[in-house]
Chains A and B, each alone.
Chain A
Amino acid sequence: MPTIKIDEKEVTVDAGLTLIQAAATAGIDIPHFCYHPGLPIDGNCRMCLVEMEIRPGVFGLVAGCVQTVTKDGMQIRTNTPTVLKNREGVMEFFLINHPLDCPWCDQAGECRLQDYSFEHGRADSRFVETKRVPPKKDLGPHILLYSTRCILCTRCIRFCDEIAGTSELGIVHMGSHSEIDTFPGQPLDNKLSGNVADICPVGALVTKDFLYKPRIWHYTTVRTICTGCSTGCNTMMEVMHQKIYRIRPRENMEVNQYWMCDDGRFGYHALQEAERVKVPMKRVNGTLQATTWKEALQAVSDGFSRLIGETGQSAVGVVGSAQWTNEENFLLSKLAREAFKTSHIGLYVKPPGEGWVSKSGFRIEADKTPNARGAREMLGAADMRGIVDGINAGTIKGLYIVGGDLGLVLSAAEKEALGKLECLVVQDIVHSELVDLAHVVLAGASWAEKDGTMTNVNGRVQRLRRAFPPPGEARTDGEIIRQVGKQCGVDLGPGAPAEIMNEIARTVEGYAGLSYSVIGEQGAMTGIGQPSEAAGG
Chain B
Amino acid sequence: MTLEFSPEARQRAETIIRRYPPQYKKAAVIPLLHLAQEEWGYISAEAMAYVATLIEAPPVKVAEVATFYPMFNKEPIGKYEIQVCHTLPCALTGCGRIVKHLCEKLNIQVGQTTPDRRFTLKKVECLAACDRGPVMLVNKTLYTNLTLEQVDDILNGLE
Which residues in A have some Cβ–Cβ distance to B below 8 Å? 167-174, 181-186
Task: Give the 7 A-B CB pairs with smallest separation, nearest first.
Answer: A167-B58, A170-B60, A170-B64, A183-B60, A172-B67, A183-B59, A184-B45
Q: Do B59 and A186 touch across chains, with their CB atoms under 8 A apart?
A: yes
Segment 40-81 of B: residues with Cβ below 8 Å from A:
45, 48-49, 58-61, 63-64, 67-70
- Report whether B67 and A174 are in contact in the complex, using a CB–CB cutoff of 8 Å: yes
**Which of A167, A173, A174, A185 makes the CB contact (< 8 A) with B61?**
A167
List A contacts of B69 (CB < 8 A): 174
Taking CB atoms, residues of chain B closer than 8 Å to A168 are 58, 60
How many whole Å from B125's CB to the nearest CB in chain A?
12
Q: In the complex, what residues of B have CB within 8 A of residue A172's CB?
A: 63-64, 67-68
Bound complex: CA A172 to CA B67 (Å):
6
Q: Are A170 and B45 in contact (CB under 8 A)?
A: no
Contact indicator B45/A174 (Cβ below 8 Å): no
Instruction: Assess the A186–B60 pair: CB atoms within 8 A.
Output: yes
22 A-B pairs whose Cβ atoms sit less than 8 Å apart in the complex: A167-B58, A167-B60, A168-B58, A168-B60, A169-B60, A170-B61, A170-B63, A170-B64, A171-B64, A172-B63, A172-B64, A172-B68, A173-B68, A174-B67, A174-B68, A181-B60, A181-B63, A183-B58, A183-B60, A183-B63, A184-B45, A186-B59
**Shortest Cβ distance from residue A278 to the other chain B in the assembled complex, whole angstroms:** 48
Would you call the interface of chain A mostly helix, strand, loop, or mixed?
A: strand
B45 contacts A183, CB within 8 Å?
A: yes
- Chain B residues lying within 8 Å of A174, measured Cβ to Cβ, are 67-70
In whole Å, how far is A222's beta carbon from the nearest beta carbon of chain B? 37
Q: Is the interface of B mostly helix, strand, loop or mixed?
A: helix
Distance between Cα atoms of A173 and B58 in the complex (Å): 17
Are the CB atoms of B68 and A182 closer together than 8 Å?
no
Q: Roughly how many angstroms separate A168 CA and B63 CA in the complex, as a whole number?
A: 11
The chain A residue sitting closest to B49, CB to CB, is A183
Report the separation of the CA atoms of residues A500 and B45 in the bound assembly, to the nearest whole angstrom.
61
**Chain B: minimal CB distance from A175 (Å):** 9
Q: Give the distance in Å from the alpha carbon of A167 to the alpha carbon of B61 in the complex.
A: 8
A184 and B64 alpha carbons, distance in the complex (Å): 12
A182:B60 contact, CB within 8 angstroms? yes
> A171 vs B64: C-alpha distance in the bound complex, in angstroms?
5
A residues in contact with B58, CB < 8 Å: 167-168, 183, 186
Using CB atoms, name the residue of chain B closest to A177.
B67
How far is A494 from B26 in the complex, measured between Cα atoms in Å? 65
List 6 additional A-B contacts (Cβ < 8 Å) besides A170-B63, A173-B67. Answer: A167-B61, A168-B58, A183-B45, A183-B48, A183-B59, A186-B60
User: With a CB–CB cut-off of 8 A, which chain A residues contact B67?
Assistant: 172-174
Distance in angstroms between the alpha carbons of A511 and B69 in the assembled complex: 61
Q: Which residues of B contact A182 (CB under 8 A)?
A: 60
Min CB distance, A358 to chain B, in Å? 15
Output the nearest chain A residue to B65 by Cβ-Cβ distance.
Answer: A170
Q: What is the bound-complex CA distance between A169 and B70, given in angstroms? A: 21
Instruction: Report the minimal beta-carbon distance from A164 to chain B, rounded to whole angstroms.
Output: 12
* Most B C-beta atoms less than 10 A away, residue of A171, A174, A184: A184
Max chain B CB contacts within 10 Å: which of A170, A173, A185, A186? A170
Most buried by A among B59, B60, B68: B60
C-alpha gap A171/B48 in the complex (Å): 14
A443 to chain B minimum Cβ distance, whole angstroms, is 50
Q: A185 vs B49: C-alpha distance in the bound complex, in angstroms?
A: 10
Q: How far is the CA of A413 from the CA of B83 in the complex (A)?
A: 77
Instruction: Give the Cβ gap from B30 to chain A, nearest Cβ, in Å.
Output: 14
A168 — nearest CB in chain B belongs to which residue?
A: B60
| Minimal Cβ-Cβ distance residue in B for A182 | B60
Nearest-Cβ distance from residue B2 to partner chain A, whole angstroms: 12
Assembly CA distance A171 to B61 (angstroms): 8
Q: How far is the CB of A421 from chain B (nearest CB, A)?
A: 56
Whole-angstrom distance from the CB of B120 to the nearest CB of chain A? 19
CB 8 Å contact bits of B12-52 with A (1 = contact, 0 = none) = 00000000000000000000000000000000010011000
Residues of A within 8 A of B60 (CB): 167-170, 181-183, 186
Complexed CA–CA distance, A183 and B51 (Å): 13
Question: How far, in whole Å, are A184 and B47 apart by their CA atoms in the complex?
Answer: 12
Residues of B within 8 Å of A170, CB to CB, are 60-61, 63-64
Q: Please name all residues of chain B whose beta carbon is closer than 8 Å to the beta carbon of A169 when the two chains form the complex.
A: 60
Residue of chain A at shortest CB distance from B68:
A174
Name the CB-closest residue of A to B52. Answer: A183
Name A174's closest neighbour in chain B (CB-CB).
B68
Tell me which residues across on chain B come within 8 A of A171, comparing CB atoms: 64
| CB-based nearest A residue for B62 | A183
* A172 CB to nearest B CB, Å: 4
Q: Which chain A residue has the least Cβ–Cβ distance from B64?
A: A170
- Distance in angstroms between the alpha carbons of A173 and B67 in the assembled complex: 5
**Cα-based distance from A185 to B60 in the complex (angstroms):** 10
Report A68 CB to chain B, min CB distance, Å.
27
Distance to closest chain B CB from A230 (angstroms): 31
A184, B61: Cα distance in complex, Å: 12
- Tell me the smallest distance from the CB of A276 to a CB of chain B, in Å: 43
Contacts of A181 in B (CB 8 A): 60, 63
Contact partners of A167 in chain B: CB under 8 A: 58, 60-61
Which chain A residues border B70 with CB–CB below 8 Å? 174
Residue numbers in A under 8 Å from B48 (CB-CB): 183
A168–B49 alpha-carbon span in the complex (Å): 13
A178 closest partner in B (C-beta) = B68
